[in-house]
């Protein structure tokens, strides 16, 4: 048999990735964490972590143990809540993978609000446009452009959102007026780098703005936004980014509009983990209750 208490050290090191950070969370010395992990590996006769310059990474055996250890943690919290009649202590790290625009422009602005509710939960936001594997625990929660068709994932719709064609007001004053789609040929555009688009859901520009003369490309949504804001050219912008920016003007709103949906994804092994559930509920609330912001209405 193994010491069940060692699972606390295993869970914290898997979440923090570094001995010192795990030790700080557990309020022990880092040598204690190392010793308890070594003891657990010895008792189970497996290696649970690989050490690298980036920290401690779970091995295949560690990945198999992780959901089981989290189930024990969840049941322990539930026992405390049911028997003691008190809420389980919500603490730990939750990594959220979200598209860059949503993560940087919406979620990040609500972190203070979340901290007031759950001061002991640390959110790690990976705000970039690429898919991260929930099965390999690259993230605990993911926000995606589409609902998964396979895998042990639980998913639900967060909200719809819209992109429209925008231009900076001074730019529009200096260039030929736009009264219809045919006038767009006289303007330059800002867009993605075609061969570096990693998600097919981002290939909406060419199908929306026909035969556009693109003068600036970037894989970074914020770079595109700033280029448009500084008069480099016209471009499709998330309405929630342009919502309160007076320098931007919507162009041909009736003819040019892209509507998409954000989905929340969580692995079924993590759905009932208290800290993950708290973040899922929070993200669902702030996005589902901000339809005007997300759709630009």
On the question of pLDDT at 82 being above 70, the answer is no
Shared domain for 169 and 252, answered yes or no, is yes
Place of tokens 């016209």: 234
Distance in angstroms (rounded) separating the CA atoms of residues 252 and 210: 14
pLDDT at 292 over 80: yes
| Boundary of a domain, candidates 47, 68, 84 | 84
For residues 249 and 166, membership in a common domain is answered with: yes
Same domain for 240 and 179, yes or no, is: yes
58 and 179: one domain? no
Q: Is the pLDDT of residue 204 over 70?
A: no
pLDDT at 274: 81
Q: Which of 10-19, 99-108, 124-133, 210-219 has the lowest mean pLDDT?
A: 124-133
Mean pLDDT of all residues in 124-132: 81
Same domain, yes or no: 15 and 144: no
Q: With a cut of 60, say whether residue 87 has pLDDT above it.
A: no
Q: Are residues 255 and 265 in the same domain?
A: no
Give the pLDDT score at 224: 93
Rg (the chain; Cα; Å) = 23
In terms of pLDDT, which residue wins out, 147 or 90?
147
Domain closes at, from 84, 107, 130: 84
How confident is residue 73, by pLDDT bands cut at 50, 70 and 90?
A: confident
Q: Collect all residues with Cβ–Cβ distance below 8 Å to 294 and sequence separation of at least 6.
A: 159, 160, 161, 162, 239, 240, 287
Check residue 83 and give its pLDDT.
65
**What's the pLDDT band for 90 if we cut at 50, 70, 90?**
confident
**Across residues 8-29, what is the average pLDDT?**
89
* 213 band by pLDDT with thresholds 50, 70 and 90: confident
Full DSSP string of 223-270: HHHHHHHTTS-BEEEEHHHHTT-TTEEE-STTT-EEEEEEEEEEETTT
Identify the domain containing residue 60 by its residue range: 6-84
**What is residue 46's predicted lDDT score, i.e. its pLDDT?**
93
Joined together, the tokens standing for residue 103 give 């993560």
Residues making up the chain, counted from first to last: 297
Predicted confidence at residue 155, as pLDDT, reads 92
Where residue 102 sits, what CATH number does that domain have? 3.40.190.10
Q: Are strands 55-58 and 213-217 parallel, antiparallel or unpaired?
A: unpaired
Over residues 242-279, the pLDDT tens digits come to: 988 899 999 999 988 888 899 999 988 788 788 888 99
- Last residue of some domain: 42, 61, 84? 84
Q: Are residues 50 and 33 in the same domain?
A: yes
97 versus 25: the higher-pLDDT residue is 97
The rounded mean pLDDT for the chain is 86
Residue 1 forms part of a structural domain: no
- For the ranges 192-196, 231-235, 292-296, the lowest mean pLDDT is seen at 192-196
Indicate the number of domains in the chain: 3
């Amino acid at each position: 048999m193994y010491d069940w208490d060692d699972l606390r050290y295993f869970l914290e090191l898997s979440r923090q990735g570094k001995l010192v950070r795990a030790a700080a969370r557990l309020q022990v010395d880092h040598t204690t964490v190392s010793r308890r992990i070594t003891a657990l590996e010895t008792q189970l006769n497996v290696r649970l972590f690989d050490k690298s310059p980036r920290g401690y990474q779970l091995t295949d055996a560690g990945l198999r143990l992780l959901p089981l250890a989290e189930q024990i943690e969840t049941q322990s919290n539930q026992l405390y809540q049911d028997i003691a009649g008190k809420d389980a202590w919500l603490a730990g790290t939750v990594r959220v993978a979200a598209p860059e625009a949503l993560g940087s422009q919406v979620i990040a602005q609500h972190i203070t609000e979340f901290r007031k509710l759950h001061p002991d939960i640390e959110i790690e936001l990976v705000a970039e446009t690429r898919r991260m594997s929930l099965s390999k625990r690259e993230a605990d929660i993911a926000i995606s452009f589409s609902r998964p068709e396979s895998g042990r994932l639980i998913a639900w719709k967060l909200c719809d959102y819209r992109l429209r064609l925008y231009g900076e007001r001074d730019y529009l004053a200096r260039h030929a007026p736009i009264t219809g789609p045919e006038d767009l040929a006289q303007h330059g555009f800002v867009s993605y780098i075609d061969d570096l688009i990693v998600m097919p859901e981002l290939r909406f520009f060419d199908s929306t703005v026909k035969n556009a003369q693109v003068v600036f490309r970037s894989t970074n949504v914020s770079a595109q936004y700033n280029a448009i804001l500084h008069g480099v050219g016209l471009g499709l912008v998330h309405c929630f980014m342009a919502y309160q920016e007076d320098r931007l003007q919507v162009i041909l709103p009736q003819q040019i509009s892209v509507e998409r949906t954000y989905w929340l994804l969580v692995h079924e092994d993590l759905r009932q983990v208290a800290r993950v559930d708290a973040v899922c509920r929070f993200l669902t609330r702030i996005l589902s209750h901000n339809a005007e912001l997300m759709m630009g209405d």
